[in-house]
Amino acid sequence: MRAPIGCGMQTVAMPSRSLSPRARPAAASANIAPPAAPDYAALAAFRYALRGFTAFSEAQAHAAGLTPRQHQALLAIKGTPDPQPIGIGALARQLLIRPHSAVELVDRLVQLGLVERQEAPEDHRRAQLRLTAKAELLLRDLSAAHVQELNAIRPTLIDLLRRFAPPDAAPDP
């Protein structure tokens, strides 16, 4: 099964297994060849680049008066690919948190005037989440900064990802 991840106007499919918060079996138990020495260096460099972007993102969220999790929630609400507004359960899955944690997060976002809850017309037990105008402005500025940062580190990320291409893979254009 593949889970869509929105990015601008494009939707990128990511394997849902990569989104699981649970640990996966070690490579040895999955009959996968052990990494070679250059693989370790590439993995370390890739993880470093991801941590750098995460640190940038967290600093931007804090500068906007949000926690990183609040920023991620606003982005998940805005970026849902479904035509219907996102609910608590879907938000929890997007953020890899438990539903009760998502409820607490949404409660805080409602208190801050960033999110509104509405009853779902087809199921009055389900809440649909919508961003307020205040949240839309915050998220617009945060997202613009994130897109700019991603464009700046894009060549590095592409170079790092190419290091993981299988030997028989066709070269990227």
pLDDT digits 0-9 by tens, 34-68: 888 889 999 999 999 999 999 999 999 999 999 99
Secondary structure of residue 125 in the 3-state scheme: strand
pLDDT in the model for residue 25: 56
More confident of the two residues 125 and 104: 104
Nearest to 142 by CA among 59, 80, 84, 37: 59
CATH number attached to the domain at 38-162: 1.10.10.10
How do residues 67-116 score in pLDDT, each as one tens digit? 999 999 999 999 998 888 999 999 999 999 999 999 999 999 999 999 99
Helix (H, G, I), strand (E, B) or coil at 53: helix
> Which tokens go with 63?
């500068």
Q: Which helix (H) or strand (E) holds 132?
A: none
